[in-house]
Amino acid sequence: MKRKLLSLLVAGACAFGASAQAQISDGVIKIGVMSDMSSLYADIGGPGSVVAARMAVEDFGAAKKGMKVEVVSADHQNKPDVGSSVARQWYDTDKVDVIVDVPTSSVALAINQLTREKGKAFLVSGAASSDLTGKACSPNTIHWTYDTWMLANGTGSAIVKTGGDSWFFLTADYAFGHALERDTEAVVTKMGGKVLGKVRHPLNTQDFSSFLLQAQSSKAKIIGLANAGGDTTNAIKGAAEFGIVKGGQNLAGMLVFISDIHGLGLPTAQGLIFTESFYWDLNDQTRAFTKRFAPLHGGKYPTMVNAGVYSAVLHYLKAVEAAKTDDGTKIIAQMKSMPTDDPLFGKGSIRADGRKIHPAYLVEVKKPAESKAPYDYYKVRTTIPAEQAFRPLADGGCPLVK
């Protein structure tokens, strides 16, 4: 009798031991892709990012490894209050472990704060503000793909070097526009250029004729577009109409995506120079990925934001497999300790301030005659190596960096 009881106790203890092995809460890894699904940034992140996340889960082979992974998505409509309440519900009720993408820096900053409070994880691919790895840096957030410093340094310095030393800014009047304008102004003045003026326009402006007129009368050589998505394309279209380039001024698109070029068409967009961290036609691996991505996304090719979501989710799942937990803070620390390697960005690493490092590419838009196929839009002018592409670790003012 005693022996039976003892063996029963031992068997029971073994059973408990077995279940303690997987500390993943409720057994499911839930990934929440939050993006602008319906407005001016929808073609930059949007449903494409959901496709990219699902592809990453599939390529990781979660099913074969016995890990249950679920991908959910939501539309934040570019509003911080909407994004925050969705994130709150995701974290509190729906047991989402990590939020991915989030273009629109104001929403990203809000979710950055919330994720830190809840101890979850946040992988930013869409948002741009360099504050996410600067004064707002957090042990629960990794900033993937790009940021305003990379754009300012890549595009800004390239343009000043070729003689564009007087600037006028058209800035989207919210967190992202202000950050991009600030970082670009710093680069321009450091290299000896001047900023002759700036005008702030509301997010999602249709008609830029009035602002372009102000830019024209400033007589600046370069009109810097510190905005993105629909705002940038509307500004470029307006500039073509008002003869800005014929009048001797040039446009600098500080944040342009391949979806914007597709919407503008090469006749209008040719000659634009800007910085990206991914292009579908870079090498065989990016091309292979694009071949699988496009049919799942209505024939549209991946933007660097979509690619960033793929890369981030892949690395996240590898970290979960290694650390055997989905506690946000621990996973982010695990991700920082492992070097990254994926078909889209190649080999890279993640710094203490949460900044992912990889090379950046200065690209120029081809002339219509030079383009042989749809989406064959870019010539890669220079490759900026990873160590130079992003703001030096010490300059960010991040409290995590000692």
Q: What does the binding site for another protein look like in residue numbers (CB under 8 A)?
A: 38-40, 42-43, 46, 173, 199-202, 204-207, 209-211, 213-214, 216-217, 229-230, 233-234, 237-238, 241-243, 247, 259-260, 262-265, 267-268, 298, 300
Q: Which is nearer to another protein, 119 or 248 (CB)?
A: 248
Which residue reads 């009720």 in tokens?
A: 93
Q: How near is the Cβ of 361 to another protein at its closest, in Å? A: 21
Q: What is the DSSP string of 302-351?
A: PPHHHHHHHHHHHHHHHHHHHH----HHHHHHHHHHSPEEETTTEEEEE-
CB of 37 or CB of 160, closer to another protein: 37
Contacts of 183 (CB under 8 A, 6+ apart): 130, 148, 149, 151, 152, 153, 156
CB of 343 to another protein, least distance (A): 25
SS3 content of the chain, % helix, strand, coil (to 5): 45, 20, 35
Q: How far is the CB of 386 from another protein (least distance, A)?
A: 29
* Closest CB to another protein among residues 262, 358: 262
Q: What is the largest CA-CA distance in the chain?
A: 99
Q: Which is nearer to another protein, 1 or 369 (CB)?
A: 369
Strand-pairing partners, residue 360, are 384
Output the smallest distance, CB 37 to another protein, in A: 9
> What separation in angstroms does the CA of 302 have from each of 79, 290, 375?
24, 7, 10
β-pair type (98-101, 121-124): parallel
Q: Which is nearer to another protein, 43 or 131 (CB)?
A: 43
Task: Give least dist CB 249 to another protein, A.
Answer: 12
Q: What does DSSP assign to residue 126?
A: S
Question: In the complex, what is the shortest distance from the CB of residue 212 to another protein, in angstroms, rounded to a whole number?
Answer: 9
Terminal Cα distance for the chain, rounded: 62
How far apart CA 346 and CA 351 sit, in angstroms, is: 16
Nearest distance in Å: CB 77, another protein: 12
Query: For residues 193 and 238, which CB has a smaller minimum distance to another protein in the complex?
Result: 238
- CB closer to another protein, 45 vs 154: 45
Neighbours of 19 (CB within 10 A): 8
- Residue 211 or 345 having the CB closest to another protein: 211
**Shortest separation between residue 131's beta carbon and another protein, angstroms:** 20
CB contact set of 112 (below 8 Å; sequence gap of 6+): 122, 124, 132, 136, 138, 140, 141
d(CA 384, CA 138): 26
Kindly tell me which of 97 and 276 has the beta carbon lying closer to another protein: 276
Q: Which residue type is seen at 377?
A: Y
Closest approach of Cβ 21 to another protein, in Å?
44
- From CA 150, how far away is CA 358, in angstroms rounded? 11
